Amino acid sequence: MFHLSFCGSVLFRGLLLLILLQVSCVTKVESPLSAKRSPEIPPVITQGKVFLAGHTGEHSKDTEEILKLVQRLVSGTISRDLNFLPELVSKKDGIYLDVKGNWTREQLIQELSTADNYFRIYFFDRDLLEKQKNSKDVRTVRDLFLSSGGIEVDFYYESKNACELKLKFKENQKLERELINPYFIKQDGKWYLFRLF
């Protein structure tokens, strides 16, 4: 008698445990709270503070336009595609790139057409950057953006036609120092990128 009830309770416990495990697995798969953030999703970019240096004026439309350009640049970096970059660069002033210096728009187009170009090395491909720097302790611009946890952008208007940005990371703030402050210039009523991250 004791033997039968003991076997029955072991069988009952085993079935109960099996059911609980199945419910637990289904809950984990379906629960959005347990899902981790995808490493490929561009960070959310928001407007921070706006500073005016030595002038006054309404800059809300300018700030909105520049913020959209920054969002496009960050999304392009995450998707490893900056082929649109020349359209954001002034024909007159070109673009300043940290390692390369000042480039004309035509030089930028030429660079983007080469296989192992500046952007592939410094912005997208960590393996190529490791070879370039001869170090494993490197991060591409894409790596930095993906580790930011979101970016808040402060605007420093030096004049009505010049604005420097400060990108502030929500997470891993120490990594934001590895970026250069972007710089935008306004010509004929349109904002252009002059200095990239």
Average pLDDT over residues 40-64: 90
Total count of domains within the chain: 1
108-138 confidence digits (pLDDT tens):
999 999 999 999 999 999 999 999 999 999 9
Q: What is the pLDDT of residues 158-181, one digit of tens each?
A: 999 999 999 999 999 999 999 999
At 66 the pLDDT is: 98
CA distance 22 to 6: 25
Please answer whether residues 67 and 44 qualify as being in contact, where contact means their C-beta atoms are separated by less than 8 angstroms: no
Is 136 domain-assigned?
yes
Q: Is residue 9 part of a domain?
A: no
Instruction: Return the higher-pLDDT residue of 40 and 137.
Output: 137
Does 112 map to a domain?
yes
